[in-house]
């Protein structure tokens, strides 16, 4: 389950807490909310973590599925979302792919993948 910890309209960030089905606080992430006046407003995800004692239980998979659901429902004007991840962070990459993100670019010099997801098909 996701709970909004903070919606900061000035810095344009939303901090979200994730709890297990049993109600234990197990992870968090931050969404950066774009300026909706842009042509293609895109959400970005950062500061994502599953707290140490909860890792390895597929909770990141669950958190990311719920995160994508939240993004689609609450930010319908955003066509897509993106994040960056270290190329050796296999658990994170797998969880993002599980939720529908795909690697769209790789920065070999900095060992980073750009991953993106389409949230809404554009109606033009
Ligand atoms: C990365 C992180 C969020 C993953 O959370 P998690 O809840 O432990 O991950 P999950 O249990 O949901 O596992 C996700 C996938 O990775 C796999 N996985 C987990 N640990 C793994 C490991 N050590 N090696 C390879 N695969 C692994 C799981 O099997 C699962 O894949 P599957 O569904 O195909 O079986 C967590 O380790 C973390 O918070 N790390 C520190 C902060 C961080 O790296 N954040 C991401 C920044 S982009």
Question: Which structural domain range is residue 54 located in?
Answer: 2-118
86 domain-assigned: yes
H runs (alpha helix) in the chain: 59-74, 90-98
106 domain-assigned: yes
**pLDDT score for 10:** 85
**pLDDT score for 76:** 93
Q: What is the mean pLDDT of residues 77-81?
A: 94
Centroid of ligand 1 to alpha carbon of 42 (angstroms): 25
Q: What is the pTM of this model?
A: 0.94
As for ligand 1, residues whose beta carbon falls within 6 Å of it are 48-50, 55-61, 85, 89-92, 94-95, 98
Atom of ligand 1 nearest to the CA of 92: 1
25 domain-assigned: yes
124 domain-assigned: no
47 domain-assigned: yes
Question: How far is 90 from 81, CA to CA, in rounded Å?
Answer: 20
21 domain-assigned: yes
**pLDDT score for 122:** 66
Over 60: is that where the pLDDT of 93 sits? yes
Higher per-residue confidence, 95 vs 36: 95
Those residues with Cβ within 8 angstroms of residue 40's Cβ, 6 or more apart along the chain or in another chain: 79, 80
Q: At which residue do the structure tokens 């293609």 appear?
A: 40
Count structural domains, the chain: 1
114: nearest Cα among 33, 45, 31: 45
């Amino acid at each position: 389950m996701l709970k909004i910890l903070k919606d900061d309209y000035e810095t344009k960030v939303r901090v979200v807490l994730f709890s297990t089905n049993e109600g234990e606080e197990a992870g968090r992430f931050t969404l950066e909310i774009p300026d909706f006046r842009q042509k293609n407003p895109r959400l970005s995800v950062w500061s994502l973590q599953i707290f140490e004692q909860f890792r390895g239980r597929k909770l990141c998979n669950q958190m990311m599925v719920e995160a994508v659901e939240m993004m689609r429902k609450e930010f319908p004007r955003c066509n897509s979302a993106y994040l960056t991840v270290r190329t050796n962070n296999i658990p994170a990459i797998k969880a993002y792919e599980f939720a529908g993100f795909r690697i769209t670019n790789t920065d070999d010099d900095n060992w980073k993948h750009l991953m993106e997801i389409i949230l809404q098909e554009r109606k033009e």
